[in-house]
Structure 1
Amino acid sequence: MPMEITFPGGAAVNASVRGFTIHTDQPEEDGGGNSAPAPFEFFLSSIGTCAGYYALRFCQQRQLSMEGLKLLMDWERDPDSHRLTRVRLTFELPADFPEKYGKAILRAAGQCSVKRAILDPPEFDMRIA
């Protein structure tokens, strides 16, 4: 399914897919209007939400309580190249979460398709139409 990328003005860039529009902008210090998350923040959020989805499905399939389940994500970047060097996902589990499922929920979240795409990156084909 194709995604259309458009440029509404300033440093904003939008992506439209399946009838949804994803708005992005750059922070003011990077020449943007700070009206939406930056594209890199959307990229990072796709990692967290994908891992979160797999954790959610893990709990739903076992009829485990989701109350209090939270996923915190932070990351590190090389100060010179700005390359992403580490992504850390920390799960806060509900108080009554069965201990026997601790490692299993991490394995489930690790099946995230966004993470797998990073670990085995696709080929990029850029061209002029």
Structure 2
Amino acid sequence: MSVGRSTGTAVTGSEDSRDARIHVDFVGGEEYAVRMRGHHVATDQPLDNGGVDRGPSPVELFVASMAACTAYYAGRYLDRHHVHREGLRVSADYRMAADRPARVERVRLDVRVPDGTPANLRQGLHAVVSHCTVHNTLRQRPEIHIDIS
């Protein structure tokens, strides 16, 4: 996976600090360069889907964003309860739908807490990670507008 940091400045869509912009540019074949806040990620398709596998697919990034958001929220929860994050891991399994439209049908996230995490924190941890920003966005669908220019 190609991930890096470029020297560009963040570009926002408006004066509202809640707005942000991500750019995706064609590289070649099925590869695209994704740029946001000075970071860049290469996306591609697997070999069996016409790509050369130079990076994760957009669907993998989508599922990864759910797992990473869950890990972030879990880590913050553990910090608030004075539990170290060493050993925290979130794994994601997903299944694509067999019918149309093409979409992710199911995602299962497994949050592995560090050794020594008190059992009485698990219920609260589950509640917190179930409401990370990515999960909330999926539950309360955003408005999506596509402009062709």
TM-score, L = length of structure 2: 0.80
* 1:1-129 to 2 correspondences below 5 Å: 1-81=20-100, 82-129=102-149
Q: Which has the higher helix share?
A: 1
Per-residue CA deviation, residues 1-47 of structure 1 (Å, 9 max, x unaligned), is: 22111001110012111111121000111111111111110111000
User: What's the CA shift for 1:105?
Assistant: 0.7
User: What's the CA shift for 1:86?
Assistant: 1.7
User: What's the CA shift for 1:76?
Assistant: 2.2
User: What's the CA shift for 1:113?
Assistant: 0.5
Between Structure 1 and Structure 2, how many residues are aligned? 129
Q: CA RMSD in A?
A: 1.3
How far apart in 1 are the matches of 2:37 and 2:94?
29
Tell me which moved more, 14-23 or 79-88: 79-88
Unaligned 5+ residue runs, structure 2?
Answer: 1-19
**Secondary structure at 1:63's aligned position in 2?**
coil
TM-score, L = length of structure 1: 0.92
User: What's the CA shift for 1:94?
Assistant: 2.5
Q: Sequence identity, in percent? A: 29
How far apart in 1 are the matches of 2:73 and 2:118?
17
Of structures 1 and 2, the one scoring higher in RCO (CA 8 A, sep 6+) is: 1
Tell me which moved more, 37-46 or 93-102: 93-102
Tell me which moved more, 114-123 or 73-82: 73-82
**Secondary structure at 1:29's aligned position in 2?**
helix
